[in-house]
Structure 1
Amino acid sequence: LIVFFLLSRTTKRHCTLYDGQSCSLSGVCHIPMSEPFCTKTREVLIEIAKKLGLQCHSKGTVITIEGPRFSSRAESLMFRSWGADVINMTTVPEVILAKEAGMSYASIAMATDYDCWKEHEEAVSVDKVLKTLKENANKATSILLTAIPQIGSMEWADTLHTLKVSTLRSVSTGDN
């Protein structure tokens, strides 16, 4: 899945570059997250996955949970009712920080299990996740090794300018 939307159920993570600390950027950033992932980068990843003959869903919603525990069945069913296609512990805060930094960012989600919402499947376990993760690593590596040169050869000035302007317009310093 090349992630399109995101939901966050995290509360304990550092999710901004503008947190008032001495080493942080000044102001408050109200970054728009209607499209959290870079469309141009997503399109490259989708194209490459298809060229490589990999099963790839081009749109889907990820929900990031705090972890490290797995979801309860009730939580998983609730997340599905909210429209989440994937449950993970790793997309937030990365996508938010990248957006605030004006970076082009996309996320590849490779399923390792059905979580516990699917009643007739084996319950999720660390062993099962690690086994499937190893199998998916080759697919992810193939996508990235093919996509990176293509991304590197593309013109990014307009995209990066748009991202930078979006961030600049989102920061309130008290002076504006």
Structure 2
Amino acid sequence: MAQRMIGVIGGSGLYEVEGIEDARWRHVETPWGDPSDAILTGRLGGVDIAFLPRHGRGHPLDPGSVPYRANIAALKTLGVTDVFSVSAVGSFREAMAPGDFVIVDQFIDRTRARASSFFGPGCVAHVSLAHPTCPRLSDAAEAGAAAAGARVHRGGTYLAMEGPQFSTLAESRMYREHWGADVIGMTNMPEARLAREAELCYASVAMVTDYDSWHPDHGEVEVTQILATAAANADKARRMIAALPELLGPERTTCPHGCDRALEHAILTVPSARDPQMVARLQTIAGRVL
């Protein structure tokens, strides 16, 4: 059995995690540039952990500026095996109220200006994304969030928009009434795609801060409202993270859902036709199969 290392990507309002032993901020270089910030590593509950603030400490990066490939590659480089993505979202469902947590299991990707793959000309790969999150990690996230005192909804479709502006009323109604989305955010894509290409188990914990702009009784989204709710959500998220080591344990077995073998039959380019420079870059995330 391999040693487990939990990776946490913190979204709006979650810029640090307390209680990490032997904590130090580490700068990690990747072939795709620098990640959003240094990565806080150490041990939590006897399990190795790495924490990365997605927007950087102090929130200098907007959703379109986040270096998603570098973030995932940096976590992979450090030895992370399981990634928990924590992010603020708007809700399209009355029952998914501000302050609630949604354990996402599906995505609709409306981003359009972000690099969405490690692969490309010189080494082509197609991974399966039918089920983009890991049920095993989602189980742990659900249990941890409930233990932290959050009201938790298991399952939901996350619509990833480009941003940085919020939705128009027409868009909000379309996503809710015709597309079947449950929550909306700006950061889980291409993050989830890249985690699958890097053969990392990935769970998405969406923390509801508002009702987007569709709700007739709540008006349009305001940043001050989001920040206030995000701060309260972040406290629950920290307690959820603290529960993960006990829920998962220090040792990791083969993922029963195949997340850690996503590249097994995904690379189409035959070895003789692969670009050596591309292959060298890909060693970080795909060295197991290359």
Q: Distance in 2 between matches of 1:161 and 1:59?
A: 17
TM-superposed CA distance for 1:160, in Å, is 8.0
- Conserved 8 A contact 1:71-1:116: yes
1:157 aligns with 2:257: no
Higher strand fraction (1 or 2): 2
* Distance verdict in 2 for CA 1:141–1:41, change over 3 Å: same
Structure 1 CA distance for aligned equivalents of residues 254 and 233 of structure 2: 33
**What's 1:122 paired with?**
219
> Which residue pairs with 1:17 in the alignment?
118
**Higher RCO (CA 8 Å, separation ≥ 6 residues):** 1
Cα displacement (A) at 1:165: 2.7
TM superposition shift of 1:119? 1.7
Cα contact 1:114–1:121 (8 A) shared by 2: yes
Tell me: CA distance 1:171–1:161, structure 2 relative to 1, closer, same or farther (3 Å). Answer: farther
Q: 1:3 aligns with which of 74, 79, 104?
A: 104
1:173 equivalent in alignment to 2:274: no
Tell me by how many angstroms 1:34 deviates. 0.9
Question: Does the CA contact (< 8 Å) of 2:149 and 2:236 recur in 1?
Answer: no
User: Partners of 1:149 and 1:19 in 2: how far apart?
Assistant: 39
Match of 2:206 among 89, 92, 109: 109
**Structure with more helix by fraction:** 1
Structure 2 residue 185 is matched with structure 1 residue 88? yes
- TM-score between both structures, scaled by the size of structure 2: 0.55
Q: Unpaired segments of 5 or more residues in structure 1?
A: 21-25
Q: 1:144 aligns with which of 237, 241, 261?
A: 241
Q: How many residues align?
A: 170
Letter in 2 for 1:131: A
Deviation at 1:100, TM superposition (A): 0.3
Helix, strand or coil for the counterpart of 1:112?
strand
Cα-to-partner distance string for 1:48-86 (whole Å, 9 max, x where unaligned): 222333200011110000000000011011111211110
Matched, 1:56 2:157: no
Deviation at 1:15, TM superposition (A): 0.7
Given candidates 123, 137, 143, the residue that maps to 1:27 is: 123
C-alpha displacement of 1:11: 1.0
Query: Does the 8 A contact of 2:135 with 2:257 survive in 1?
Result: no
Aligned residue type for 2:243 = T
> What secondary structure, in the 3-state scheme, does the structure 2 residue paired with 1:117 have?
coil
AA matched with 1:173: T
Q: 2:229 is aligned with what amino acid?
A: T
Which sits farther off after the overlay, 11-20 or 103-112? Answer: 11-20
Structure 1 pair 86–112 and aligned structure 2 pair: CA distance change class (3 A): same
Query: Counterparts of 1:87 and 1:164 in 2: how far apart (Å)?
Result: 27
Letter paired with 2:151: Q
Please report the RMSD computed on the Cα atoms of aligned residues, expressed in angstroms: 1.9
What 5-or-longer segments of structure 2 have no aligned partner? 1-101, 273-290
CA–CA separation in structure 2 for the residues paired with 1:2 and 1:29:
28
TM-score normalised per structure 1: 0.89
Q: Partners in 1 of 2:257 and 2:154 — Cα distance?
A: 25
Three-state SS of the structure 1 residue aligned to 2:159 is strand
Q: Give the corresponding residue for 2:169.
A: 73
- Alignment partners' CA distance in 2, 1:89 and 1:29: 25
CA-to-partner distance for each residue in 1:10-30, whole Å, 9 max, x for gaps? 11111101034xxxxx52221
Percent of aligned positions that are identical? 35
On the 8 A contact 1:99/1:163 being kept in 2, the answer is yes
The residue type paired with residue 64 of structure 1 is A
8 Å CA contact retained: 1:76, 1:115: yes
